[in-house]
Amino acid sequence: VALTDVLGLSGDVVVVAHDWGGPVSLGWLQHVHANHDSLDIVGLVLTNTAVHQPAESSAPTLIRNARRPLWLGQVTVETSAFLRGMFELSNPRTPTEIRRGYLAPYDTPDRRKAIGEFVADIPLEADHPSAAVLDAIAAGLADLGDVPTLLVWGAGDRVFSDIYLHDLEARLPHADVHRHPKAGHLVSEDTDVASIVVDWLEALDTDKTSRPPSALVDLSAALRDPAIADRVAVREMGADGRTVTFGELDDMVQRTAEGLFGTGGVQVGDRVALMIPPGVDLAIALYACWRMGAVPVLIDGGLGPAQMSAAMKVADPDHLIGIRRALAAARTLRWPGRRIAVEPTNRVARRLLGVEHDLASLQDAPSVTLPAVDPDAEAAVVFTSGATGPSKGVQYSAARIDAQIRTLVEQYDISADDSLVAAFAPFALYGPAMGLPSTVPDMDVSSPGTLTAATLLDAVEAVDASLVFASPAAIMSVLETLDELGGRDRTSLEHVRLLLSAGAPVPGHVLRAAVDRLVPNASAHTPYGMTECLPVADIDLVSLESLGPDALHHLGVCVGSPVDGVELLIDPLDKLGVPTGRPTTEPGVLGEVRVRAAHQRLGYDRLWHTTHLASPADGWHATGDIGAVDTDGRLWIGGRTGHVIRTAAGPVAPTPIERAVDMLDGIRRSAAVGVGPAGAQVVVVIAETSDVGRRPRQSSLDRIDRIRAAVTEATGLDVAACLEVASLPVDRRHNSKIDRPHLADWATGVLEGGSVRNP
């Protein structure tokens, strides 16, 4: 009260607090919020702090050690060890001048007394004098539901870990959250927190017109259709593969949903990580979650162990349903979530893996009535590939998933007469929802290159497939292994009417080879989209070939016209390649692609600012892709905003350059990057060739001349240098998205005279 009066505070107030300032400020806020009518708390921002020690974890080791009686005075007052230790919690390393600024006020033991006192004041014991006060502050957060709140978190903090973030989220369920995956304790030094806070405060003043509620949807409705009850729903490939009909699948989904909700303790809105290979068990678990209102968390094994663990930390699932290998990883890597085994599990295995239930026992649990499902609530969290930045959790509602399924059905005239082979993980999940018999080839779906011609033919034969969905890398792998088929009967491949390939730009000659040599009666299409919205546009092979040799064009790669229900805008780039924020439909303008559709994402999980930046206007999604539309309304993609080459003449898209280079003999694929300062960058081409050997090198004079001539003819641009490597770095999921920023850094080092190592 005295502080409020002395400062003469009145009117609108935004509280921003960090570390021990969190509970101090929250105690003050709770008092004035209840007792000072002259103050209006219009916002609360908390960064890396805590108000409660969760019972399932112990206090941070650093704090417990500093609180030891023999050490407390020595590390906090007599020396600046405690203060200096704070810098070791930062990522990246705190610059020297910033360190000096933090140390300056505490240059003597007398000035450091307050540090010792606040460390001693941290209540690690139940009978500590501060414990009751802190408990009251924690309980009082329940009364702040009308105060707009933002939590900005450095996830790399070894003191205030995600445990404390999740505790605050539970106490402030209305809070917006932005979690920076790498920032440490000094999050405001490690990342630009100020911009996040300013944008958030400005967004509070924006008139937010709520959408009308969506109609009720049942994502598992097709399973209930009596007309297809005896039709095969999912067929697993491999020696031990199972087959279930739609009627059997519906029964198992219903019993599993009731078991999860009744006996398994899964509540509506709970997140459930599904660590299950595509097949019958994944279909049961996925549709059971949707039927009872839980939120499946889908993390692609192609991300690799490190990114999978990072994704699990972000999503923080309440439950995890997995095969034994996944449960063992969960135990070893300490993934969150109560564990449910896919396979029947004995008592010993349950204890070792920390398993509480298995699907078989839940399916036999007593029947219960399932709750209604909100069509606009979160219904899935799907992680991006990480090919164009850190993998992000993309949130979808049931209404938007339903809209996506309907869009696919309408775009490709999918009917009850069709059946599906899905060698592309996302679409392995949608076959049952469309009422289609479906299967996944005997392959590792997280590694497209493991698909062979023989395993694809086996899958097509198994369900008499009319639809085949595979990534470009998977199709190329099939073409490379066609000889394995020998004299096998390929009649079933002639029944395929539609070949879909997505995930990365698909060269026209690859699609043509797939049709001519593999599925001769198929119409080949390449849907364009992203995890946040798919499909956005579509082009078929005939249209692609009509554009010219391999769809080479100065605008990039043609991905076709928008599908029904999708709106497109182009946000023009300025001279430095930054979107101007003035979107247009004018043809030929290079800029960031914006889309709006009923089937696009809700937002990004625990990434408020990322969602905000990717949502420039009502209902629009800024894709991060750069491109242009032509006079016929077709969309051409030129790369990513982070891949723009910023030349003195203006921004340049890399893809048109790469397409010209890729047409040359001896080059498998290439990357065009900018080297030099922004606004004065030059074009450097890094080519993947078959004759380079193990060590990278500069291209021969003859090849340099051919590359330069091809690029100049296609784009009018000059190429400053050409380097060759045996293999370009690509993403794990698609094996085709090139890491251009990494290559730009590598090429800069090489051209500056650094060691020539593989990128």
Digit-coded pLDDT (tens) for 447-456:
888 999 999 9
367 pLDDT above the threshold of 80 = yes
The yes-or-no verdict on residue 398 having pLDDT over 60 is: yes
Q: What's the CATH code, domain 216-373? A: 3.40.50.980
The predicted pLDDT at position 437 comes to 97
Three-point CA angle 636, 637, 643, nearest 5°: 150
Q: Is the predicted pLDDT of residue 547 greater than 90, yes or no?
A: no
Most confident range (mean pLDDT) of 64-78, 552-566, 686-700 is 64-78
Say how far apart CA 759 and CA 274 lie, in whole Å.
Answer: 34
Instruction: Decide: 155 and 313 in contact? Cβ < 8 Å.
Output: yes
- List of E strands, 132-237: 149-154, 176-180, 232-235
The set of residues, in sequence order, having a beta carbon less than 8 Å from that of 242 and lying 6+ positions away, is: 234, 235, 236, 279, 280
- Tokens for 301? 């094994």
Q: What is the pLDDT of residue 504?
A: 75
Give the pLDDT of residue 177: 98
Q: Class of 412-531 per CATH?
A: alpha beta
Residues with Cβ < 8 Å from 352, sequence gap 6 or more? 331
CA–CA distance, 408 with 283 (Å, rounded to integer): 19
Alpha-carbon separation of residue 52 from 133, 165, 167, 298 (angstroms): 11, 11, 8, 31
For residues 250-258, average pLDDT: 98
CA atoms within 13 A on the CB side of 205: 6
Average pLDDT on 383-394 reads: 80
What DSSP character marks residue 76?
Answer: I
Spell out the residues 6+ positions from residue 75 whose beta carbon is closer than 8 angstroms to its own. Answer: 66, 81, 82, 85
Question: What is the Cβ-side half-sphere exposure of residue 718, based on CA atoms within 13 angstroms?
Answer: 6
pLDDT mean over 591-610: 98
Answer CATH for 644-759 from 3.30.70.20, 3.40.640.10, 3.30.300.30, 3.30.70.3040? 3.30.300.30
Burial class (CB in 10 A: 0-12, 13-18, 19+), 722: buried
What average pLDDT does the segment 669-684 reach?
A: 96
- Residue range 172-184: mean pLDDT, rounded: 96
pLDDT at 385 over 60: yes
Which of 5-9, 251-255, 666-670 has the weakest average pLDDT?
Answer: 5-9
- Least confidently predicted of 199-213, 227-241, 262-276, 293-307: 199-213
% of the chain beyond a pLDDT of 90: 79
Helices and strands in the chain: count of H runs, count of E runs:
27, 31
Check pLDDT > 70 for residue 443: yes
| Residue 206 CA: distances (Å) to CA of 14, 199, 202, 413 | 17, 11, 7, 41
The model carries a pTM of: 0.93
Higher pLDDT, 425 or 299: 299
pLDDT of residue 478: 96
Q: Where in the chain is the domain with CATH 3.30.300.30?
A: 644-759
- Identify the pLDDT of residue 736: 67
pLDDT of 734: 61
- What is d(CA 73, CA 100) in angstroms, rounded to the nearest whole number? 22
Mean pLDDT of 102-111: 95
- Assess whether pLDDT exceeds 70 at residue 686: yes
For helices 246-262 and 280-292, angle between their N-to-C axes, nearest 10 degrees: 50
CA distance 285 to 317: 15
CA separation, residue 363 to residues 234, 241, 253, 369 (Å): 19, 20, 9, 14
2-55+124-204 topology per CATH: Rossmann fold (3.40.50)
Q: Considering only CA atoms, which of 407, 720, 647 is closest in space to residue 537?
A: 407
d(CA 191, CA 254): 46
Average pLDDT in the 569-575 region?
97
CB 432 within 8 A of CB 414: no
- CATH 3.40.50.980 residue window(s) in the chain: 216-373, 412-531
Cβ count within 10 A of residue 198: 11
